[in-house]
Structure 1
Amino acid sequence: MTYLEKWFDFNRRQVELEALLEQTIAEQSDQSLTLKEFYLLHFLNQSQEKSLRQIDLPDKLHLSPSAVSRMVARLEAKNCALLSRRCCDQDKRASFICLTKEGQTTLAYLQKAVEERLETSLDFIS
């Protein structure tokens, strides 16, 4: 197999795995979260204060700033209390997106489901 063929095979498997994770997260979350929304909760949880400036999220999520704004707005509109927004003290134009206790609980549950899915799906890597 050439390196190009290996690359295409790896890419195909990654797309398939992302679809499996998307399905797992949607099925396991009461809010029917997407994979990108799961990533958002994950990155918020990894931050020291469980919050990040909204302007810092596009790079982490590999999305445009407007896509991140729409994602946060969708989560707020779902009224699922997974995150909250607060103004930045230094710059009133900026806002922080914060993971709530409910968000931490939901994320912990979803991480377990995702770990189980990955455990059974990543055998092609080794």
Structure 2
Amino acid sequence: MDNNSNLCTWLNMKHFENDIQIKLEKALIKYDLSPVEFSFLHYLYDQYDSKASLLEIKDSLELSSAAVSRMAVRLENKDCKPIVRYHSEDNQKEVCLKITNSGIKHFKEASVVVDDVLNKFFSNSDFLALRDMILNTNTQAED
């Protein structure tokens, strides 16, 4: 099989992603966050007013409604209380979440560690080889 095939590229991407996921899980343990919970907080932090509806978060993170709801409950119950739940003023049935000041502080501390992990992964030779493989696969597909 050709070393630059789409299959090889996809498998290498999956392995690389898995390695990053494992490293992030280990790095985020001291912040009592999973990578998905970190992404959840990142989404809220990144919003102009630091709040969003459960539906917006579900769509952004591409998770099920049940998963987003469970994650919101887990985050609400954490010691640092990173989020609060409330009902939209426009629609009382719509559940919204807002990142708290302690949540912002917690997110910023964790993001330093996440950035460090990602910088190490994206600057290592394995990633650079994978990037080259992806670019090479794309150019072969265009031919």
Q: TM-score, normalised by structure 2?
A: 0.81
Shift of 1:13: 0.7
Aligned match of 2:10: 7
Identity within the alignment, %: 24
In structure 2, the CA distance between the partners of 1:76 and 1:24, relative to structure 1 (3 Å rule), is same
| Residues 35-81 of structure 1, C-alpha deviations (whole Å, 9 max, x = no match) | 11100100001101000011111121221001100111112223431
Q: TM-score, normalised by structure 1?
A: 0.91
Answer yes or no: is 1:18 the counterpart of 2:21. Answer: yes
- Unaligned runs of 5+ residues in structure 2 are 129-143
Aligned match of 2:69: 69
Answer yes or no: is 1:111 the counterpart of 2:111. Answer: yes
C-alpha root-mean-square deviation of aligned residues, in Å?
A: 1.2
**Segments of 4+ moved more than 2 angstroms:** 77-80, 123-126
In structure 2, the CA distance between the partners of 1:13 and 1:34, relative to structure 1 (3 Å rule), is same
Question: Is the Cα–Cα contact under 8 Å of residues 24 and 117 in structure 2 kept in the other structure?
Answer: yes
What is the correspondence of 1:10-89 to structure 2 with a 5 Å cutoff? 10-27=13-30, 29=31, 32-89=32-89
Q: How many residues align?
A: 123
Shift of 1:25: 1.0
Q: Which protein shows a greater Rg?
A: 2
| Residues 5-55 of structure 1, C-alpha deviations (whole Å, 9 max, x = no match) | 11111111111111111111113x1xx111111001000011010000111
Partner of 1:98, secondary structure, is: strand
Tell me how far apart the structure 2 counterparts of residues 66 and 117 of structure 1 sit (CA, whole Å).
29
Tell me how far apart the structure 2 counterparts of residues 104 and 75 of structure 1 sit (CA, whole Å).
13
Tell me how far apart the structure 2 counterparts of residues 106 and 73 of structure 1 sit (CA, whole Å).
17
Partner of 1:125, secondary structure, is: helix
- Unaligned runs of 5+ residues in structure 1 are none
Matched letter for residue 50 of structure 2: K
Q: Which moved more, 1:115-124 or 1:87-96?
A: 115-124
